[in-house]
Amino acid sequence: MFTRNVIVLLTMLAVGACSSMKNRESDEQVLARYMDNAGEPIDRFSYLGRFDSWRALSRDKVAVWTGINDVYLLTVDTPCNNLQFTSSIGLTNSTGTVTRGFDSVLIGNDERCRINEIRKIDYKKVREIERAGG
């Protein structure tokens, strides 16, 4: 009886995991939508020492939310070996500004990935597209 219950439980967990994975977009899909709604490269953005959220989208691209609709797509120098696998990041900055070519994404205690491109994402438009199912 115990073995049967364990098998049923494991089957339910596997089916649940598969169905939730179908609903989550791949990093490639999200990156494509962000790139479609990204402005021209900029040199810097204001940063007050914290960000609301972030998401690694590839080996060299990370989206950083500094406010509800303030999202920046950062491209870093490669290799940035642990960007897609880290559980936390930081940003260097000078007097409240993150600057392309000067500042870095910090990963763990020892990896610095220099930012070589910054693009502001039109996140309101991205959310409209997501709500419309696209």
Residues 42, 36: Cα–Cα separation, whole Å = 16
The reply to whether 5 falls in a domain is: no
| Tally of domains within the chain | 1
- Bigger pLDDT: 49 or 93? 93
Cα–Cα distance list, 102 to 3, 95, 107, 114, 132 (Å) = 59, 13, 16, 7, 38
The reply to whether 47 falls in a domain is: yes
41 sits in which H/E element: strand 38-42
The reply to whether 9 falls in a domain is: no
The reply to whether 92 falls in a domain is: yes
pLDDT on residue 23:
60
Residues 51, 44: Cα–Cα separation, whole Å = 15
Cβ–Cβ < 8 Å for 119, 38 = yes
pLDDT at 37 over 80: yes
Please report which confidence band the pLDDT of residue 21 belongs to, taking 50, 70 and 90 as the band edges: very low
Tell me which residue range forms the domain holding 113.
26-131
pLDDT tens string 55-95: 999 999 999 999 989 999 999 999 999 999 999 999 999 88
